[in-house]
Each structure stands twice: as C-alpha cells, then as structure tokens.
Amino acid sequence: MATTTATPVTTPHAPRPEAGPRKRRKVEPIYYLFLLPALVLFSLAITLPAVMGIFYSFTNSIGFGEWEFVGLINYQAMFSDPAILQSYLFTFGFAAVTVVVVNVVAFLLAVGLTARIRFKSGLRAIFVIPMVISGIIIAYVFNYLFSNSVPAAGSSLGISWLSESLLANPDLAWVAIVVVTAWQAIPGTLLIYIAGLLSIPGDVYEAADLDGASKLQALLRITLPLVAGYVVINVILGFKNFLNAYDIIVGLTNGGPGTETRSIAMTIVTGFTGGDYAYQMANATVFFLITIVISLVQLRATRGRSAL
Amino acid sequence: MRFLLSKPEAIPYFRDLIAEFNASQQDVEVVFDTSSNLQAGFLRGNPPDLGLLNYNMEMARFMARGALSDLKDMPEAGRILPEVQDLVNNLAAYPGRTSVLPYSVMAASVIYNKQIFADNGVEVPETWDDFLAVCDTLKAAGVVPIYSTFKDAWTVSQGLFDYTVGGMVDVAGFYRQLREEGTNVGPDSEVSFAKTLTEPVSRMEMLAENYTNEDAASRGYGDGNLAFSKGEGAMYFQGPWAFGEIAKSGPDLDLGTFPLPMTDDPESRKVRVNIDLAAWIPEDSTHKDAARTFLSYLFQPDVMNAYNESQLGYGTTTDAAPVTDPRILGMKPYFDEARFYQGASQAIPLTIPTENYLQGIVTGAGVEPTLQTLDADWARLALRQ
C-alpha cells in the first residue's frame, strides 16, 4: 500500500481520502452514496448470514425447529473430530501442492506462448479452453478417464500402479485431484503470466543478448524478477481458490476412498445437509478465522509488490 | 397446495395422478414439486404442504424436532401395518405423534442370475457355510461370485454392509441400546460398533476381498447394472430399484432374490427393507386441509397398489394387494412374516460419513480402526445434539 514510507513505490496522485490527517480534509458525501448499494448488499448477503452462523455455532440447532444453547461444546467436539482435522490437513496439503504445480506449469507455458513460435494465437486459444468448462463437468469426464481409459492403458503397458484406477487408491487419489484441479486452474494463471511477460520491454533482452547472456540466464535473471509481482498474485489467488476445493472433488471421488480426500468445504456442506447445522457452523467459523489470518499474513508479505 | 415427490422413477406416475385429481374436483389444486431442497424449505419456514419421500435419518430429524404435524386422527393411519409403522419409530419419534405414514416399502436382498446358478450346479444357499461353498464353486469356475461397485460408496453400505450386519445382528435393538449409551459409546460401553459389529463387518471385508470382481474399486452403480445384465457376475447386492436398470440392457435375464444367510440357522434369514416412500404434512404448512384431502386420495387402495406394482414395492397397509413379480417373489414370505430389518447404515445420522468409512474398509482400511472411529463419531454427536 502507498501509506508506508518503507516502500519505494508510492502513488501520490491516487485520490485516497484517508491518506492525510482527517481534520483538514472534508469528504464529499457523494462518495458514501456510491458505497451504499454495495454495502447494503454485502451486509445482507454476506455479513448477516455469517453473524447468524456464528451465533448458531453456540447452539445445538439443526437448522430449524427447537434448539438450545450448548456453549462451546461444538468447538470442543470439533477439535477432537478426526474427520474434521483430517479434512484440514488434506485441504492445506492439497492447496500447497496444487499452487506449486499450477504456477510452474503455467509459467513455463506462458514463456513458450510468448516466444516467437508458429500458431501462437491458435495455441493460446486451445490452452485457455479448460477455463470456460464448469468444474463438475471436467470432474465427471476425468472420472471416466481415470476409471476406464487410464487403467486400460496402464495394464496394456504393464505399469501395475496405473492399471488400477487412481481414484480407488487411498494413497494416490489426491494426485488425481491435483491433476484435474491444475488442468482447470492453469489457463487463468497462464493468462496473467502472459500479460506479465508481455509487459517486459524488449530492450532488456537485447541488452542481455549483447552482454552474452544465455537463454536460461535471461529467463532466471531477467524474466523471473520482472514478473515477480504476477507470481505473488497468482500464488495468493490460487491458494485461496484451492482452499475452497469442492466441485472437482465431489465429481471425482466424493471424498473417497474412505475419507481420504474430503476437503473442508465438503465436510461443511455434507454435515450441513446431513442436519449438523450448528456443528458445521462452528467448523465454518474456525475456517473463517484461519483464512483471515492467512490473508493478513499474505497482505503483509506482499506489501509494496501489489503496485506492480 | 404444494406436493413434493422427488423419486425420479415415480415422477411420471404421480404426474398423471395429479392431473387426474385436479380434473376430478374444484376444491384442491395440487402443484407438483419434484426438486426443492428440503433442508432449505424447512429452514425458511416454507416447506412443501405434503411430502411423499424416502424415509431415512434425514427425514427422521424433521420429525424428531417436531416439524411434522400429527396425522393420528386420519383413517389412513389406522390402516398401516403395525410392523411397518414400527420401521418409522425405529429411527426417531416425537412423543405422542404419528407424523409419518409409510406408503411403500422396498425389500432388498441378494439378486442372483438363475441361469448362472443352474449352469454351475449351485442352489440358493440357506446357511453361511452354504453361501461360502456357492461362492467357492463359482470362483473355481471362473465366474465372479458377487459383482461389486465400490466406487459408489452407497452401494457398499446398502449392500454388503447392511446384508451382513442385518443377517447377524438385531439392528433395531442395537441402535436402541446405542442411543441409550449416547456419549458413553466406546471401548467400555455395553454395545458399540467395534464390539457388536466386528464379526459381520469382518465377514463383509472377507467377501469383498475374495469374491468380488477385481476392478470393483473403479466400478460405479451404472457400470454394475450393465455388467450384471451381461452376465459378468452371479450375484449382485442391490435392491429392487436396480431391476429396471438391468432390464434396459438385459430384458430377458432370469433373476431372483434371496436373503443373505449369515448364520447356520436357515430360520434366522431376514431381508432388508427400507421405507421407499412415506407421507407427512409439515407443521408449517399453510394448506393442511388440502394436503390431507390429497393424502387420502393417494392412500386409496387401488392407487397404492398400482404404484407398488409398477415400482416392485411392498404395500404398507393391511388391505394391500400381494406382490406377484417373480423377481421379488422370493422375499414375500419374509415380508409377510415381518422377518425383516432396516439397513444398519440407514440408522446412522447422515452427518457421520458412514458410506465413506465403509468404502474405506473394502478398499483397504482396517475393520477395527474404522469401527472405533464410528464409535467416537457417535459419542461426539451425542454430546452436541
């Protein structure tokens, strides 16, 4: 943000009413009017239900009918519930791995697709297609591939671990989920990287070329540092999205085999529809607090870079 | 008044019925609802006026919290078979009320391919040892004894789990005790999943390990129906709802049913039943009288009988017509003598991922740790609800 003195990148021309001392500046009331519709909608659709949810997490409500206060029992039960703890472990592990896979692949693709190659725009269009298909459809298609096509290929090639469906393997089902999620998430990330790479002026490469830098050196010493801001954006957006993993898992494994691949969002939704309203509201509250902490850490870590 | 029915196979039948009813009188106009979300409807205080749905733990909690009105004074309530009404009460009850009227019961047991049995010279087994002998004979002949579809977790719980447990354990009694134990369920309680169900569930694991198709873990319900209709397995642990699907690709298959024998005593065999459809009227309904009128219309004997005949269901009333379809005739004596149980997996609240746990067992997670997890989940749920 532009308010700290530590950052070299400042944007003095930005009209930020709270930048100066409050007494001297008179705020146009019209700004508040602009804010009003969004504020009202946000409060009604997000804040109010969230507050109600937090309230019910201290009751034994199942969503309707008679209920009573139970204090912190939901929280107490939750922290000893292996199903919930495992869903946290799985979701965070999954999100971390997927972020790395998505960013590495998307970055390399972006480098390729911004180089001087043939059929560049055609290839770009093809690579972006997965982005416009809905997650659940992708999941069902891959479900079929993993259950039938991949095992058939695996057994005809004599690869034993591939001849059984990945989705049925308790130790490897998560790999399938990472692959499919990455397949869907790479295009969005790719587009942001392409925009980043195109923003690098050509003369820095010319200068590097004159100094005798190899292609690899140019990539590591010039390209990477200059798109660092885009990397940060992609990692933050990606991690946030992958923590909410739901539709692809439902379509691929529905949490199985066993409970190996149940994500936090899945645990909350299935518990809620199964009548465990208050309990899963407690779970959602904890998840909410954790994501707030993560966002604060990320905001702090990326301060100054966001101006890129 | 809004009528909710979401069973896909039954929608065409009830659509015609509603059109007929609406045309026949002027007082009540029935609006057909096949898709609205129950939980959300009750939550908003805007539930359907009359529901005719599968009755399970999900529905039971609406009754347990007093969200369904009392129908005891309706003449239809008096016609329900007492042992069928007990199936409702086994799951949950609200003191002093009869809020749920069963409409159709599905009886499920082992489906077998009569041709494959005859070709291999085996007969319907009556004891556990017989059953294993049948499986061994079939396996030795290169036939898959039990075609299984572990990819769809529900097929594990409704088939292998419910049949093995129901054949050995008094399901209703077990859950009654389990509910009394509540938060005490665990290693020290009188009954528990780990204590009471280890034996049947170990047998279930053994069957899954030795007598199912090798690719069971990557096969789903749809794959199973297709494979079974092509004769790729001798037995199939599914309910009558699968017959219609199997008939699509194998219309001439000669199929029968028998209860899975789990003991040495042929007399102890029972079939699994579930309340396929049951009617209820919410407290929050604003058209209770209209809903009652249509309920009475639905419960006329000829309307009920026609439904049950078309869906291979069993009637729930004292005046219901007997079943005649040869595919489910094998279970008639058991139903008539009330030698049935409700699926053990159906009595566990849905918030506990039972189906996932059972799928875990057949794909390699241990029996005992999984049952202990179920115990812990049960106790935790009792603590907070």
Q: pLDDT tens for residues B7-27?
A: 888 898 999 999 999 999 888
Between A and B, how many residue pairs show a Cβ–Cβ distance under 8 A? Answer: 123
User: So where are chain B's domains?
Assistant: 2-106+274-334, 108-271+344-384
Angle at B228 between CA B223 and CA B232, to 5 degrees: 100
Nearest chain A Cα distance for residue B358, angstroms: 7
DSSP state of B374: H
Domain A75-307, architecture per CATH: Orthogonal Bundle (1.10)
- Asked if the Cβ–Cβ distance from A273 to B61 is below 8 Å, we say no
pLDDT of B202-246, one tens digit each? 999 999 999 999 989 889 999 999 999 999 999 999 998 899 889
Burial of B345 (0-12, 13-18, 19+ CB in 10 A): buried
What is the structure's pLDDT at A307? 43
- Asked if the Cβ–Cβ distance from B356 to A271 is below 8 Å, we say no
**Whether residue B309 has pLDDT greater than 50:** yes
CATH class of B2-106+274-334: alpha beta
Choice among A107-111, B248-252, B268-272 with the minimum mean pLDDT: B248-252
Nearest chain A Cα distance for residue B234, angstroms: 23
What is the structure's pLDDT at B292? 93
CB proximity A275 to B under 8 Å = yes
What is the structure's pLDDT at A23? 55
Instruction: Give me the phi and psi of B105, to 5 degrees please.
Output: -115, 135
Q: Is the peptide bond before A257 cis (omega within 30 degrees of 0)?
A: yes
- Asked if the Cβ–Cβ distance from A275 to B39 is below 8 Å, we say yes
- Asked if the Cβ–Cβ distance from A255 to B363 is below 8 Å, we say no
Residues 6+ apart with CB under 8 A from B166: B270, B272, B341, B343, B344
pLDDT of A158-191, one tens digit each? 887 788 888 888 888 999 999 999 999 999 999 9
E strand or H helix at A280, and its extent? Answer: helix A277-301
**Residue B380 vs residues A203, B65, B93, B186: alpha-carbon distances, Å:** 65, 19, 21, 11
Choice among A2-11, A103-112, B333-342 with the minimum mean pLDDT: A2-11
Task: Please answer whether residues A229 and A305 qualify as being in contact, where contact means their C-beta atoms are separated by less than 8 angstroms.
Answer: yes
What is the structure's pLDDT at A24? 59
Task: Please answer whether residues B103 and B13 qualify as being in contact, where contact means their C-beta atoms are separated by less than 8 angstroms.
Answer: no
Nearest to A70 among B153, B220, B384 (CB): B384
Nearest to A165 among B45, B217, B383 (CB): B217
Nearest chain B Cα distance for residue A40, angstroms: 21
* First and final C-alpha spacing in chain A: 11
Question: What are the chain B neighbours of A72 within 8 Å (beta carbons)?
Answer: none
CB proximity A66 to B under 8 Å = yes
pLDDT of A33-88, one tens digit each? 999 999 999 999 999 999 999 999 999 888 777 788 999 999 998 998 888 999 99
- Asked if the Cβ–Cβ distance from B360 to A258 is below 8 Å, we say yes
CB proximity A7 to B under 8 Å = no
Burial of A13 (0-12, 13-18, 19+ CB in 10 A): exposed
Nearest to A60 among B57, B67, B385 (CB): B385
CA-derived radius of gyration, chain A? 24
Q: State the pLDDT confidence band at A4, using cuts at 50, 70 and 90.
A: very low
- Asked if the Cβ–Cβ distance from A167 to B218 is below 8 Å, we say yes
- Asked if the Cβ–Cβ distance from B377 to A260 is below 8 Å, we say no
Q: State the pLDDT confidence band at B334, using cuts at 50, 70 and 90.
A: very high
Query: Nearest residue of B to residue A163 by CA position?
Result: B215
Question: What are the chain B neighbours of A73 within 8 Å (beta carbons)?
Answer: 383-384
Sequence-ordered alpha helix ranges (H) in B109-197:
114-119, 128-140, 153-155, 162-168, 171-181, 193-196
- Asked if the Cβ–Cβ distance from B384 to A278 is below 8 Å, we say yes
Residues 6+ apart with CB under 8 A from B312: B106, B240, B241, B243, B323, B325, B327, B328
- Asked if the Cβ–Cβ distance from A274 to B359 is below 8 Å, we say no
What is the structure's pLDDT at A138? 94
What is the structure's pLDDT at A179? 95
pLDDT of B129-147, one tens digit each? 999 999 999 999 999 999 9
Put simply, the chain A residues between 146 and 165 with a CB less than 8 A from any chain B CB are 146-148, 151, 164-165
- Asked if the Cβ–Cβ distance from A274 to B349 is below 8 Å, we say yes
Question: What are the chain A neighbours of B65 within 8 Å (beta carbons)?
Answer: 62, 64-66
Nearest chain B Cα distance for residue A78, angstroms: 9
Q: How many helices and strands (H and E) does chain B possess?
A: 20, 11
What are the structure tokens assigned to B100, written together? 């749920």
- Asked if the Cβ–Cβ distance from A276 to B61 is below 8 Å, we say no
Query: Nearest residue of B to residue A168 by CA position?
Result: B217
* Amino acid symbol at A229: G
What is the structure's pLDDT at A9? 43
Whole-number percent of chain A with pLDDT over 70: 90
pLDDT of A209-232, one tens digit each? 888 888 888 888 888 888 988 998
| Same fold across B2-106+274-334 and B108-271+344-384 | yes
Q: What is the mean pLDDT of chain A?
A: 85
| ipTM score over 0.95, yes or no | no
Q: State the pLDDT confidence band at A5, using cuts at 50, 70 and 90.
A: very low
Dihedral sign computed on CA atoms, order B6, B8, B12, B17: negative
Residue with tokens 């040495």: B264
Nearest to A164 among B218, B357, B376 (CB): B218
User: So where are chain A's domains?
Assistant: 15-56, 75-307
- Asked if the Cβ–Cβ distance from A147 to B219 is below 8 Å, we say yes
E strand or H helix at B290, and its extent? Answer: helix B288-298
Q: What is the mean pLDDT of chain B?
A: 91
DSSP state of B320: P
Structural fold of domain B108-271+344-384 = D-Maltodextrin-Binding Protein; domain 2 (3.40.190)
Nearest chain B Cα distance for residue A221, angstroms: 47
Nearest chain B Cα distance for residue A259, angstroms: 6
DSSP state of B279: E
What are the structure tokens assigned to A174, written together? 């998560």
Angle at B47 between CA B350 and CA B88, to 5 degrees: 50
Nearest chain A Cα distance for residue B69, angstroms: 13
What are the structure tokens assigned to B267, written together? 């007399």
What is the structure's pLDDT at B133? 95
